[in-house]
Amino acid sequence: MKKFFGFISLLASLFSSAQTTAEQTTDSCQLTISLLTCTPGEELYSSFGHSAIRVTDDNANTDLVFNYGTFDFNDPHFYKKFVQGKLLYFVSVDELNNFLAEYDYFKRGVTEQVLNLSCEQKQKLVAALFENAREENKYYRYDFNYDNCTTRLRDMIEKITGGPLQTTNILPDSNTTFRNLIHDYLQKGNQYWSQLGIDILLGSPLDKKITNREAMFLPDYLLMAFDSAVTGNKKLVYEKESLLPAVANRHDKSYFTPVLVFAILFLLITALSLFRQHSSPVFFKIFDFSFFLALGLLGLLLVFMWFGTEHAMCKNNFNLLWALPLHTIAAFFIFSKKEWVQFYFRFIFFYSLVLLGAWFALPQQLNTALIPVLGIIIVRSHFISKKATEAQKH
């Protein structure tokens, strides 16, 4: 008799489970909502992956993807707007087959997480998606860290489920910053030159310690958050599958890295400065002028990105400590006999030594590939100051 009741109990449990699954996968509104997460691509703008929302409507026989990461390359002012931080992104809608065909062509994987939402929640989300896709509503000011194609989807899900997602920890450690996560992607893709460019252009706001929620600006981290998310008393994701396989090793490993290139340049310039300073005057005239002028122009660019654009992450940039805009003027007087030139480069020499000592204590994580560049500044400012002193004696 106990075995009989045990068997009945097992059947009831299985029936209840099947009924729950059926309610999840099919309901009266015949809608299925999924988060699509795409693996990184080879281009810099696609290096961090992508997210989109899939809406399958069995009643209307449609299978659509809502994409908040679309921008118009054909905009005649594209580069100007991009640099100024005024480029508008917009919502586009495409059929799933077309969406998958594009990612399959570029050998990028796509993972689907089917969301466990009520019929009412699905209807609200679909209505909001179509409303956002209207011509008068679809454009928005893109912010890579706080308002992008991934965070927009998270915010919409949170709005229709009634509050912030409750997830387990998705951060590598408690001291993780925006820069740490960005470095992780670029290093996996062997994009060390892109990493250097980002580290130079983006300032100390990128070194903020981030929260679980802030980490969801990256598609992979939103995927991880959804995997563990709970809404109400149920899991947010009840089914997960790969629609396209991921392809590893997007970039061949290269030893032509910024660290190696700048280190070799530092050793070469140091050797020439020590042993060929007087026998190569033309070379050093050209090099010193070009080098310090380039540093000064870079400093002016960083000042512009800080004060002249709307990129919040470009503010408070400590790279201005070595890329001094004043070098733009000093470069034209390097071989002048004016007394201030001697004092200027003598100051730069001692100042750069102090900066080198404080390199890893700064509030901003500066790229280590720039240490050899600072070394060149130290070496050449010493010899320029020394030569200016000798010229004054004569």
Report the CATH number that the domain containing residue 166 is assigned in CATH: 3.90.1720
Highest mean pLDDT among 27-36, 40-49, 216-225 belongs to 216-225
Across residues 299-310, what is the average pLDDT?
A: 94
Domain presence at residue 86 = yes
Domain presence at residue 367 = yes
Across residues 272-289, what is the average pLDDT?
A: 88
Please tell me whether residues 137 and 282 are part of one structural domain.
no
Q: Are 116 and 236 in contact (CB under 8 A)?
A: yes
User: pLDDT value at position 43?
Assistant: 83
Alpha carbon 394 to its chain's center:
55
Closest to 103 (Cα-Cα) out of 300, 244, 294, 198: 244
Model confidence at 277, pLDDT cuts 50, 70, 90, reads confident
Last-in-domain residue among 244, 267, 290: 244
Cα–Cα distances in angstroms (integers) from residue 320 to residues 20, 42, 297, 308, in the given order: 59, 30, 11, 15
- Amino acid type, 264: I
User: pLDDT value at position 131?
Assistant: 96
The Cβ-side half-sphere exposure at 372, using a 13 Å CA radius, reads 15
Please tell me whether residues 272 and 342 are part of one structural domain.
yes
Q: Is the pLDDT of residue 213 over 60?
A: yes
More confident residue, 3 or 138: 138
Model confidence at 252, pLDDT cuts 50, 70, 90, reads low
- Percent pLDDT > 90 in the chain is 71
Least confident of 145-154, 249-258, 272-281, 307-316: 249-258
Per-residue pLDDT of 53-63, as tens digits, reads: 999 999 999 99
In the 8-state DSSP scheme, what is residue 87?
P
Please tell me whether residues 235 and 299 are part of one structural domain.
no
More confident residue, 189 or 354: 354
**CB neighbours of 194 closer than 8 A, spacing ≥ 6?**
44, 47, 186
Closest to 50 (Cα-Cα) out of 135, 131, 151: 151
> What is d(CA 11, CA 5) in angstroms, rounded to the nearest whole number?
10
Cβ-based neighbour number of residue 52 at 10 Å: 24
Please tell me whether residues 227 and 367 are part of one structural domain.
no
Highest mean pLDDT among 18-22, 81-85, 320-324 belongs to 320-324
User: pLDDT value at position 14?
Assistant: 38
Q: Is the pLDDT of residue 125 over 80?
A: yes
Model confidence at 3, pLDDT cuts 50, 70, 90, reads very low
How many residues belong to the chain?
394
Domain presence at residue 195 = no
**CB neighbours of 119 closer than 8 A, spacing ≥ 6?**
27, 28, 29, 31
> What is d(CA 333, CA 236) in angstroms, rounded to the nearest whole number?
65
User: pLDDT value at position 78?
Assistant: 67
Domain presence at residue 134 = yes
Please tell me whether residues 225 and 339 are part of one structural domain.
no
Domain presence at residue 341 = yes
Please tell me whether residues 155 and 239 are part of one structural domain.
yes
Please tell me whether residues 345 and 220 are part of one structural domain.
no
**CB neighbours of 299 closer than 8 A, spacing ≥ 6?**
320, 323, 324, 325, 326, 327, 328
What is the edge-to-edge ordering of all strands in the sheet holding 237-244? Answer: 139-141, 88-95, 62-70, 50-57, 31-38, 110-115, 237-244
Per-residue pLDDT of 70-105, as tens digits, reads: 887 777 666 667 667 777 899 999 999 999 999 999
Q: Is the pLDDT of residue 392 over 80?
A: no
Q: Is the pLDDT of residue 295 over 70?
A: yes
What's the whole-model pTM score?
A: 0.85
Please tell me whether residues 217 and 275 are part of one structural domain.
no
Q: Is the pLDDT of residue 17 over 70?
A: no
Per-residue pLDDT of 126-182, as tens digits, reads: 999 999 999 999 999 989 899 999 999 999 999 999 888 889 999 999 899 999 999
Q: Are 298 and 331 in contact (CB under 8 A)?
A: no
Please tell me whether residues 302 and 228 are part of one structural domain.
no
Q: Is the pLDDT of residue 334 over 60?
A: yes
Please tell me whether residues 225 and 277 are part of one structural domain.
no
Closest to 218 (Cα-Cα) out of 242, 183, 250, 175: 183
User: pLDDT value at position 250?
Assistant: 56
User: pLDDT value at position 5?
Assistant: 38
User: pLDDT value at position 44?
Assistant: 81
Q: Is the pLDDT of residue 364 over 70?
A: yes
Domain presence at residue 262 = yes
Please tell me whether residues 49 and 89 are part of one structural domain.
yes
User: pLDDT value at position 11?
Assistant: 37
Q: Are 58 and 64 in contact (CB under 8 A)?
A: no
Which domain does 144 fall in, by range?
A: 23-171+211-244
Indicate the average pLDDT of the chain.
Answer: 88
Domain presence at residue 48 = yes
Please tell me whether residues 235 and 278 are part of one structural domain.
no
Domain presence at residue 347 = yes
User: pLDDT value at position 391?
Assistant: 61
> What is d(CA 66, CA 132) in angstroms, rounded to the nearest whole number?
10
The number of folded domains in the chain is 2
